[in-house]
Each structure stands twice: as structure tokens, then as C-alpha cells.
Structure 1
């Protein structure tokens, strides 16, 4: 029978993961707020739209890609609409769903914010790792992700 508790190494790993999963997003959010005046959550939405054909995605797919609930995404897109960086339209193919569309102004925001964001990711995550550690981290995170999302339904377009 397996112990109900984590062993010492598992506990250290778990607590380290908790700290990193709190501190890294906070650092990325602070950098984006300071340099571009937007939240990390908003930047991810803009980035996912910028990578899409026609700079548009169905709201349901965008929610999965941005790791946001449909409700939170709706609020995020509403704030982007207020700034003129995105708009919502009915889906052309079936008219039932909505798509979010990146505007030209939103595209410019992504283009200007991306270099600073990439530098912050590189500094906050990869600068502390050797190439071998980065590869091992990728392998470990992929294994955890495959366990959490075996059918890839929660990572549309990313898996």
C-alpha cells in the first residue's frame, strides 16, 4: 500500500512547483503591465489571436488555448474591445458561435509587447536552466500534461 503522504523529495518538488507557478506568472504580469499596460491574461489572448489564420479564433477554442473559462475570456475580450484591440463577430461558417478577431491596433500591441515578454520568459525561466535541464523540464511537463489531458481536449491547437 502506498503512503498517503508525499515523501521528502516529492514534497520539495511540489512546494517548489507551487512557488514557481505563483512567482513566474506574477513576474510576467508585472513586466507586461509595466512595459505594455496589459495583463498577462490579455497578452495571451492577443498572442493566440495573432497566431491564428485571419487573426481570429472561435471563443471556445480561444478559451482553451488561453487557459481561461468562457466567462473570464468574455470579460478579457470585452476589455480588449474597449481598447480597440479586438472585436467579436458571429462565426461565418455556421453563424452559431462567436469568434474573436484581432484588430490592426491589437496586432501592433502584440508586435510591440512580444520582445519584452520573450525576454522576461527567457530571464524568468530559461536563464536558470542548462540546455539539458530545459529539455528535462519539457519532458517532465509534457508527461504531466499528458496525464492531466490525455485526449488533448484542453489544449486546442497546442498539442
Structure 2
């Protein structure tokens, strides 16, 4: 969802609630599959950017329907309509908090 499908690895680790070493291992695997490319940040060489490749975009598009289906099956289908409404309200509140945090407070 990042601009130009590119993000600093440090920011990606923060958004994913991961450590940089753990994310680096994931990026190694993704890079080996040609799903991402890493390069120095031209605006500040101390940082590394990860960019989704064309193959990565294709994998994302290909994987999305199965991912959505599994989330529906595992998360939403077991809930009653009332439980889904409560979950929706809770997730809306959580998303607002996350957005504020990502925007700097």
C-alpha cells in the first residue's frame, strides 16, 4: 500500500510489529523469489528500501482471493451477526489508534 510499493525496511518492520533481523530473513526469501528488491535509500543511504517487484505484485494479486477466503472462513464465519458487528466496532477503534500512531501520535 506504500507509495510506489516501496518502503524503508525499518518502517516496514515497525508497521508489521517485527524486528529488523526477522524482517531481513523474510526479505531474503522474498528477494530469492524475485518478489522484492532491496536498495539503499537515495535520500539517506543509512536506510534500505524494499520495493515490490512486478513478480511480487503478481504473487500478491494471485494470493489475495485465497487469503481473503481463509480469513472469512476462520474469523468471520464462526461469528454471529451481533458478534461481527461488535468485532467491526472494535476493529474500527483499533484502526484509528494505529493510524494516529503511524502519523506520529
Q: TM-score range by the shorter chain?
A: 0.7 to 0.9
Query: Under a length normalisation based on structure 1, what TM-score does the superposition of the two structures give?
Result: 0.55
Q: 2:35 aligns with which of 61, 85, 88?
A: 85
TM-superposed CA distance for 1:132, in Å, is 2.9
Stretches of structure 2 that go unaligned for 5 or more consecutive residues are: none
Does 2:47 match 1:108?
A: no
1:36-74 alpha-carbon deviations (Å, 9 max, x no partner): xxxxxxxxxxxxxxx111011111111122221111000
* Number of equivalences: 100
Distance in 1, matches of 2:56 and 2:69, equals 20
Distance in 1, matches of 2:10 and 2:80, equals 37
What corresponds to 2:20 in structure 1? 70
Does 2:8 match 1:58?
A: yes
What corresponds to 1:98 in structure 2? 48
Which structure's residues are more often strand, by fraction?
2
TM-superposed CA distance for 1:93, in Å, is 2.0
TM alignment of 1:9-158, pairs within 5 A: 51-140=1-90, 142=93, 152=101, 156=102
Distance in 2, matches of 1:128 and 1:119, equals 13
Distance in 1, matches of 2:40 and 2:2, equals 17
Distance in 1, matches of 2:11 and 2:81, equals 32
Distance in 1, matches of 2:75 and 2:43, equals 40
TM-superposed CA distance for 1:140, in Å, is 4.1
Distance in 1, matches of 2:41 and 2:77, equals 42
Please identify runs of 4+ aligned residues in structure 1 that moved more than 6 A.
Answer: none
- Which is higher, the Rg of structure 1 or of structure 2? 1
Name the Cα RMSD after superposition: 2.2
State the SS of the aligned residue for 2:50: strand
